[in-house]
Structure 1
Amino acid sequence: MSDLDIERVQVYAVGPETTRYTWASDMADQFMTHNVIRITTRGGLEGIAAAASYTDHDFDRSVAETLRPLLPSLIGTSALAREHLWYRLQSHNLPTAPQALSMIDIALWDLVAKHARLPLYQLLGGARSKILAYASTPMLRDPQAYVDFVAELRGQGYQAVKFHAWCEADRDLEMARAVHARHGGSGLRMMLDAEQRYDRRDAYRAAADLETLGFTWFEAPLVDTDLEGYRDLRQRVNIPILPAGNWVMDPGLVWQGIRREAWTSVRVDASFAGGITPTGKIMALAESAGMTCELQCWGYTLQQAANLHLMSSRCRTPRSSSACWTSSAPTPRATCTRRPAPGSGCGSTGTPCARRPSSRSRRRGTADRGRAGSGADQTVDGPRSFCHSVL
């Protein structure tokens, strides 16, 4: 037995009751569940990671419950055996919630970086300590609301903005033209995310218009699995085309998209794609094909950590997404800077959650925060917060 053998694993699904947003006209306001894992070794070293769930009508318990049958396989295994565990824990029966394996793998990378007394991005490659950030909007009321919001973001220092609108081609293009008319000559880079909602005809029409407006890229015009549609779109326009990066996430499947020249850049999220181990493989595949790899990065801080460290570890990752869903931007100077703390640099602090049913109000605009931490029988910060524990 070794001090690096895994002795305990704790999992929490935490849902703060707060203002909710949506990013498509056919989507309900989203409940964002913060799934957190803490892995502890016999020697007391801890690795922490998180991944989000986005669901209609209620918080999500599926990721935490997917982890429940996996946890016994971790106990007694060396925390250094990341590659071994990543292969061992993959299901060869039916698909499972993708965040589950991601959380385990990221927590193990956090733990081994702490063991090495290195910031995770340095352990992974250490290419840079600062990256550009772009603002990412929610769906707003009308084109003028986007024009005004972009003015706020520019005042906060952002040099690039990605728009989430109604995911209806005519309305989205009206917004894009309005924003371009007001901010197009300022040097601001603009992107549009259609959330996989367009058909091929609307995708081509929108791509042609966005190219005329000088947009930096067009994201998720088609469902991720329509590789032929993406390839056809790329052959007809010059604007860079990116996938959503939420459905084609396995390295082997991503390689099929690369081979078919479906995308200008690969797009993926380590907290959904199985963790840092497979995401590193995907980044290497993109680099070998002469492509960049755009890593998704938004949501709660602990969820963002893995992608930020991966971005900082390699040279061919363009920029970080910063979800500006209030008028107060989290990164006023439009950059993200890594600090030289061991591991991911994130801890799990604050009031942990209780293992009890949720009691919440559906009112919008409240500001309670339920935070994850250690222990099974403690309280949650605020009566409207949701927590589901797996120990």
Structure 2
Amino acid sequence: MTGTHVPSRRPRLEFAFLDGLRGLAALFVAVHHTYLFTGTTQDHEALPAVFEPLRYGQYAVTVFIVLSGFVLGLPLAPDRPALTRGWATFLKRRARRILPPYYAALAFFLLLIALVPQLRQVSGTAWDSKVPVTETGVVSHLLMLHNLGGDWKWQIDGPMWSVATEWQLYLVMPLVLLPVWRRFGAVAMVLLAVAAGWGIHVLFPRFDGAHFWFVADFAFGLVAARHVARARAVPRAGLLAVVAVVVVAVLFLLVPGHGLRDLWFTEVVVGAAVALVLLALAQQSVAGTRTPVHAVLQWRPLVWIGFWSYSLYLLHSPLLGLGNLLTLDRPWGVGTRFAVMLLVVLPLALAVSYGFHRLVERRFTTAHQARLRQGAPAAAVDVSETRSSLPS
């Protein structure tokens, strides 16, 4: 025995509501695309006003980005905001988690488009933005750069643009955000993130399709997680979260359609509100307080969907597009068409997505997911193994 000291690993925090929120956001995105893929582009716009909130499903991506920052911020080194195993290991683990399912889904849909004639035709539906598939579009998807080009962004599988954006945020986190945070503090890091995202929007609007202002939402999640992990309670966090949610709701209600414009601003405001909600819920969980919001987000079916939400996110959109195209010649009214899409096509898309999870994604799941599938208690789970949230 040499007497060498082996430091014990510090306890990792784990919150069940995060997977529930991830599952809920993924379902909202899927229903949003069900709405968009109903009939022709004119048909879905003619749906009753009661379905108008479905137009805002894109904000679920904002939730995913904040969740990513929050989840990846929990296991940072306790004494300073730094990756405990270095940036190379961090990127390697992130790549192993999100890239194999991404490339498998990409190959699957390229094959499907080649085999199904309806998927190669212009039909006046939301699918028209996905084709034709070009050589540069395929290469840009392989390089995770398709979010930078207007023509590439929507090809093949629309939601994949945000996977590219999140991958780019993984590069920014260890190489820019954390060094600035260590040197100048959390406030400087957040201000830099906001300024960088909005600066790119002002100077290079052609890149707006990448939503680079998401770097601010990612930073919000990092800071919120840091407060929780270091037990630095924010006074009246619950009240602040409620006020933030009310402000967002009022903004959307008083300015109809504003949430579909000026995304460079609204998605940052929504991201700040989501970060405050996560902070409040996490602080309440640590204190042993269970609110009605916890009860909803920790509902087992939602948590279960959260486990395979990455597969759901990757696969649902083209499957919905295909289902719509195969039924487009039916003489249905817009209400009936939406009901068929929602009650028949969407469940089939979810079933295929779950099958993809079982066949492909599960081979690249983290220790976090594996242990939870085996029924390990949440307190024993190492958050450093937790997947990021888009919703990978």
The TM-score bracket by the shorter chain reads under 0.3
Q: Which has the higher strand share?
A: 1
Taking structure 1 as the reference length, what is the TM-score of the superposition? 0.27
Taking structure 2 as the reference length, what is the TM-score of the superposition? 0.27
Q: Which has the higher contact order (CA 8 A, sep 6+)?
A: 2
